[in-house]
Chain A
């Protein structure tokens, strides 16, 4: 499952973190590593993240993906990321199960948009995501990552604890299997 043996010991693992449709809470839990971030900054190369300025998504050893796949852009992006990532981690419950983001699956997209942009607005100049343009269209059904791409690790939790995140990253750095808790909710 994990392919970290090919690295020269001197080269730091290349790591990325991305968020799709979620609340950013998993990334906040990553920041809750607190001063362990300083240690981590020396042990991995953070190549792309919402916290850095990056251009196109680079080839990396490991990507933590927060959030579910909810729109056309998420879908394109996750396929692109999968192609450039050795180890892809479904990072938190929205990525793992769809979680809160997938709760809209109980309703038709049209009704969800109608509620948000027509029923509660006094001025309606248009409803976003209903035509081609700058704004990506919503997928009819929100999907967890594994329904769209292969996932190597599932990091559960809403959000996963900083300790779990640290264990996973440490294991990858050290080339061993991570000891992840399995639980529901």
Chain B
């Protein structure tokens, strides 16, 4: 008799989703699926609007990584204008990119995942969050809060506000950057680096304790896709795409992001508002690939900055091929934060950062434009086709988290098989399924251009669809006799 568990209210994650777990005749977990339940429809609602509006509108796809959306959108706009963006504007955009990586990764690591890592997967759910951490480990929590604040402050100094700044536009940026802003950022570098060294020590000290989780939170071979620069180092703003396989072999290299439709395609499934991109040559669903911090450190040979490279060598030494354990997204995130701080410091020394030539102006010169950059969760594409007046006729957004859709599904199934015992469900089992999802730091507002909290409810159904039992996160079993017990 096959049954199904349904998981709702996945918390400490950026979005609304559910998980269903299929149970086989022997009562063991057979498979699992990750369902995203929110949708806003940006690809339609932008139709008919001028492309110059897009960086401001598209920032609202996501409040966590608005800079990435505004930049991908601006880059698509740069192509529509057919201009070369002044170097000062590129430096500002790069600075914003690293600040974005820093604040978003800090949110993922300190605010959302550190309660699992530091308080434990089986800790009391009522005490397993950043506010409990403030009480239990005030220094660490304060440091995390201040690190995120540092990233947000850099964005604020560049764009005038922290969230959805009217900052980047087609052709460049809107404001010259001031020396006072530069000096303030410089003053924050040392503390940020100190916090990251502490975080990195704390994380490495936990690997022994989480050996089971490292092996089961999505540890499998897959393709990895990300940008690299000309020196095969980490790149977030420009560069070309490299794809490696689980053994670390280069499958494709120097791919032009603007030709993404020749090697990437998307599938739609009725069970999720999150689309399912795949690597075209391997078809669907065989063309699974991972993006984001772990993918980026797998495709790059080096970070390109000394402190991050020391850490990256340690991470890479855990595997002979690519690092396939999704748990190590956390480690990759810490490495990228270190790298971001190093890059921010270096950018501050470039005298052109304070230049006054910040925007190239032109009329519309092309009818189609594609912009790509590495968002915190992976590569992001914005693709617009416009009419002669520059109004958007068609838009397509290929979002980082969606590109991890196949891998998140596979990881959730692996963790559920390893940890979930359907007949003796415990909260810690469910939290491990959620913690697996948290490794990917999925941003569902981005990926379906929508957001909400993720409910986690497990429903056990028999093959006829009859509800056998239902668990709301942390609520214990509910009687199937009361169909109105859930929401």
A41-B134, A55-B472 known; A129+B267 contact, CB < 8 A: no
Q: Which of A113-121, A148-156, A171-179 contacts B (4 or more CB under 8 A)?
A: A113-121
A24 and B445 alpha carbons, distance in the complex (Å) = 7
Size band of the interface chain A makes with B: 35 or more
Residues in chain A near residue B37, CB distance under 8 A: 71, 73, 134-136
If A18-B453, A111-B44, A122-B267 touch, does A50 touch B12 (CB 8 Å cutoff)?
yes
Measured in the bound complex, the distance between the Cα atoms of B380 and A165 in whole Å is: 31
Across the interface, do A34 and B40 meet the contact criterion of CB distance under 8 Å? no
How many angstroms between the C-alpha atoms of A130 and B273 in the bound complex?
11
* Contact segment of B56-64, B328-336, B368-376: B56-64
B271 contacts chain A at the CB level, 8 A cutoff: yes
Contact of A51 (CB < 8 Å), options: B129, B135, B138: B129
Supposing A70-B38, A125-B267 touch, asked if A20 and B452 sit within 8 A by C-beta, the answer is yes
Segment touching A, from B139-147, B230-238, B300-308, B349-357: B139-147
Q: Given the complex, which residues of B lie within 8 Å of A51, measured CB to CB?
A: 11-12, 111-112, 129-131
- Contact assessment for B111 and A53 in the assembled complex, using a CB-CB cutoff below 8 Å: no
Cβ-based interface call for B39 (8 A): yes
CB of B326 closer than 8 Å to a CB of A: no
With A31-B148, A134-B18 known to touch, is A158 a contact of B40 (CB < 8 Å)? Answer: no
Q: How far is the CA of A31 from the CA of B14 in the complex (A)?
A: 13
Let me know if B268 is at the binding interface, CB within 8 A: yes
Given the contacts A128-B270, A130-B270, A135-B273, A100 and B57 also touching, CB distance less than 8 Å: yes
B272 contacts chain A at the CB level, 8 A cutoff? yes
Contact A53 B473 (CB under 8 A): yes
Q: Are B452 and A125 in contact (CB under 8 A)?
A: no
**With the chains together, A55 CA to B12 CA distance in Å?**
13
Contact B273–A128 (Cβ < 8 Å): yes
Known contacts: A24-B445, A41-B135. The answer to whether A124 contacts B268 by CB under 8 A is yes
Q: Which residues of A contact B453 (CB under 8 A)?
A: 18-19, 50
Contact status of A46 and B131, CB under 8 A, knowing A19-B451, A116-B43: yes
Chain B residues lying within 8 Å of A129, measured Cβ to Cβ, are: 39, 273
Query: From A122, which residue of chain B is reached at the shortest CB distance?
Result: B265
Q: How far is the CB of A115 from chain B (nearest CB, A)?
A: 4
A115 touching B131 in the complex, CB below 8 Å, given contacts A128-B273, A134-B18: no
Q: Which residues of B contact A (CB under 8 A)?
A: 6, 9, 11-16, 18, 20, 35, 37-41, 43-45, 47, 57, 60-64, 66, 107, 111-112, 125-126, 128-131, 134-135, 138, 141-142, 145-146, 148-149, 152, 162-164, 265-273, 275-276, 280, 284, 394, 396, 431, 443, 445, 450-453, 472-475, 487
Q: What 12 additional pairs, Cβ within 8 angstroms, besides A23-B61, A24-B14, A116-B44? A: A24-B443, A35-B145, A37-B130, A46-B129, A67-B451, A120-B396, A121-B268, A124-B268, A126-B268, A135-B272, A138-B39, A158-B164
A and B contact pairs by CB, cutoff 8 A, 28 listed: A19-B451, A21-B450, A21-B452, A22-B445, A23-B66, A24-B451, A29-B162, A34-B149, A35-B146, A38-B134, A38-B142, A50-B453, A52-B131, A53-B128, A56-B487, A71-B38, A74-B452, A106-B45, A107-B44, A113-B39, A121-B265, A123-B266, A123-B267, A127-B270, A128-B272, A133-B271, A135-B271, A159-B164
